[in-house]
Amino acid sequence: MASGNRYVQLGLIAAVQVLAMAMWFSASAVVPALREAWHISDVQAVWLTASVQVGFVAGAVVSAAANLPDRFPPQRVAACSALGAAAATAAVPLFADGFGPAVLCRLCAGFFLAGVYPVGMKLMASWFGAAGRGLALGVLIGALTVGSALPHLIKGLGGLPWQGVLITAAAIGVGAAVLAAMFVRPGPHLSGGGASHRPRYALEMFRERGPRLANLGYFGHMWELYALWTWLPSFVAASTGSGEATVGLVSFAAIGVAGVLGCLLGGWAADRFGRAPAAGAALVVSGACCLLSPLVFDASWPLLLVLLTIWGAAVIADSGVFSTALSEVADSRYIGTALTAQTAIGFLLTVVTINLVPVLSALVGWRFAFLVLAPGPILGALAMRALGRRSETAS
């Protein structure tokens, strides 16, 4: 019964992530329409995505400093956060009349989403011990990946105006809040609530070699991930000259479909071969795809799709592995705080690379724009190698 219940909860927590994360790239998916409606510049278009990252970092800092996911029932934190993000997403088409109000709404959406994603990782870890936690968190990150890609699918299939895309994403977010509040529960491995207030743990964990290496690997991974997700449609459009619908479907396939498969494979590999080897292998593959991207820019559709599929799978395959590793080496009383702090710093790095890629594309073209992302997976792979050696020494 307990085993069956944990798989039910795995499905529910994953569903919450899919529905809530549909709000993340909802504005990014309709940037071409917003350019025409509001006459915004390239820099302003960048900040429609980067503002979500900044808001997420701010929300994660507040959550970690207050130890929210460790002091209060995490499912309620997730429900309230998803509802807040839905309100902020719906406010863009309902009330925003230009770039400034829209960015403020996107900041608020990111702020609230910080109470969904890291809290979901704590909830998932609470249902699975060390033996199955890698695959379980892989499922969670796969759900996040599908949710993040969902606006591209809505745009590609629905033929909705930009207002309809954002309203649809907000309605889906309300569904996430309902699921979290009514059906999601914490499991036996990490009991929800009860930890004392200890805001310093978000920084104290970096004094220990295990958490420090797990975090460094994650930071290298994040240097690449969200910049790729944000600018992949622009890369595909520049490479192929295709229209919005085709670009949207290709982006959903590379980010969403391939990403889910990568997450499941990464989670399985983490349980089968160890956290550090699995994450290191994914970083090497995604880094290689990054370096190969200029070579396939003018390639045929089949070759381009092969690279994008491999890249889309590899770039996210290790995300759940880093979370798994940190959940096992950090203080068990403050897993929620550790995971929230990890994501806060990681998403702060994404603001840098999301802005760097279009700057580089303006200087040298989209063919070479993604090369700026390569140092992330390279440095992350080195950190995972060191973590693997540490684990071998400890055993």
Encoded tokens for 78: 């997730």
152-189 pLDDT, tens digit per residue, is 777 767 678 889 989 999 999 999 999 999 999 988 87
Amino acid letter for position 319 = S
Q: What is the pLDDT of residues 130-142, one digit of tens each?
A: 777 788 878 888 8
DSSP string, 258-315: HHHHHHHHHHHHHHHH-HHHHHHHHHHHHHHHHHHGGGGTTS-HHHHHHHHHHHHHHH
CB-based contact 324:121 (threshold 8 Å): no
In whole angstroms, what is the distance from residue 8 CA to residue 6 CA? 5
- 1 pLDDT above the threshold of 50: no
Instruction: Catalogue all structural domains in the chain, each as residue range(s) with its CATH number.
Output: 1-187 (1.20.1250.20), 201-394 (1.20.1250.20)
- Cβ neighbours around 58 below 10 Å, total: 18
Q: What is the Cα–Cα distance from 145 to 260, expressed in whole angstroms?
A: 7
pLDDT tens column, 77-135:
999 999 999 999 999 999 998 899 999 999 999 999 999 988 888 888 788 877 777 88
AA letter at 50: A
User: What average pLDDT does the chain have?
Assistant: 87
Question: pLDDT of 30-62, one tens digit each?
Answer: 887 888 889 888 788 888 878 998 999 899 888
pLDDT of residue 105: 96
Alpha helices in 128-254 (DSSP H): 130-158, 162-182, 201-204, 209-240, 244-252
Least trusted range by pLDDT, from 3-17, 190-204, 234-248, 338-352: 190-204
Looking up tokens 């529960």 gives: 185
Helix/strand/coil for 76: helix
Q: Is 20 exposed, middle or buried (0-12, 13-18, 19+ CB in 10 A)?
A: buried
